[in-house]
Chains A and B, each alone.
Chain A
């Protein structure tokens, strides 16, 4: 059974005197333990889609089911990692993680224990008492990822988590995330506009068109795991990259 099942999803927003259709009937699913990337041009409604999955807004048409239950039926249906680390500046690293765990229903002592354990497991315990502003962008995203990883929901939504990082840090973070994810294989919906990132991380890539967004292409990525940067030099990697690039280019031309 799919952890996330989206069928015929439509959403429009009023803009000026008219209405702008952002999602034009999107179908998408994420299976148990599957890493799915959502690839699309900027402004293709990827964040809107995540907002609908998180239950922040209601779709105009279509259905979202998370673990079989309709979205919006309970708050916080998925673990979430946004583009900006979204760490509360007045809470320490550990305090931020504890808050997220408290919101997901853990008791105070449980949240503390899990946060301490998690920080230790990832070798980040020396940052436990630091405030977010003293951390680098990459380190803030590590904390943000750990926070999502420790949340109990089976589905993780990652919204361009490395979009604001420089190229080198970004590659480092991809490898780091890959190594962690391959340990316990949560179901992931990963939003990105980087083709290489999607290829490196995913089991399957779903390409969205510009708005109104529909799924224009789906691609299985069958590289064996665990994966490493060596993938970059494989001919198949280059082929898929060219294929996806062409798909995205044709979208831009049709706009």
Chain B
């Protein structure tokens, strides 16, 4: 119930802002190619619904594939590095350094190397989703309670058993904070990937609409990107809540 109460105030503010926007556009007769009214955006979006749906599906597909592949790879590499400390000491610093590479800037490079197919775009989204999960998981796997670790070793638990029974379940919180970051970035990175080279997707739809001065459709595209991001984030959060049901309820948690 508390969460429902928390949702209403921002929704109200949002509705108010939309109303002011609508009124301002009508009052000062702003040209629709400059700033379309919210009502205009909705109407135009409805008219273009079939095209919009096709592009949305393409972006959703790219996002989900990239998210799944990237986070799986991040998870796997984190586990590998954790289990092989020698490898970790060599790779982890580079991994941290590589976070400074603007991944978006790699796009054109990937296109040069891999052509205009799905692969370079998918790779870009995967890279974006890979890092937060990998880094968060490494932190989680290395941060298990030493007292629990000592107990398990005393009763004869081997390396693999401690990994499966202690370190993995102990990093679930970290995993989800990585997944949430990846979810928030993934749709945006998919849109940018489409700009680099694609014939369908919301990214292309936005690009074409803006070139044709169909500003209302640009807005519609942006709204869809935001909605997709929220949807993915909500799906991850929901899964997290299911996975962490054992956790003590936090007092007064927002």
A interface residues with partner B (beta carbon < 8 Å): 50-51, 54, 56, 74-80, 82, 84, 86, 88-91, 99-100, 103-104, 131, 133-134, 151, 157
Contacts and interface: CB of A to CB of B under 8 A. Distances in A.
Interface of B: 147-148, 150-158, 161, 165-166, 169-170, 172, 246-248
B156 A75 contact: yes
Contact of B148 (A50, A86, A104): A86
A104 B158 CA distance: 11
Contacts of B246: 89-91, 131
Contacts of B158: 75
Contacts of A54: 153-154
Contacts of A89: 246-247
Contact of A82 (B150, B161, B170, B248): B150
B242 to A, nearest CB: 13
Nearest to A80: B154
A90 B140 CA distance: 15
- Chain A interface SS verdict (over half): loop
B147 A104 contact: no
Contacts of B161: 103
Contacts of A56: 150, 153-154
B165 A99 contact: yes
6 contacts: A76-B157, A89-B246, A89-B247, A103-B155, A103-B157, A131-B248
Contacts of B170: 90
A76 B148 contact: no
Cβ-closest 8 pairs across A and B: A76-B156, A75-B156, A86-B151, A54-B154, A80-B154, A76-B155, A90-B246, A133-B248
Given A88-B148, A99-B165, A151 B155 contact: yes
Given A82-B147, A86-B148, A104-B156, 12 more contacts: A50-B154, A56-B154, A82-B150, A82-B151, A82-B154, A90-B170, A91-B246, A99-B165, A103-B161, A131-B248, A133-B248, A151-B155
A131 B152 CA distance: 18
A78 B154 CA distance: 8
A75 B248 CA distance: 33
B165 A88 contact: yes
Contact of A77 (B156, B157, B248): B156
A84 B166 contact: no
Given A88-B169, A89-B246, A99-B165, A74 B147 contact: no
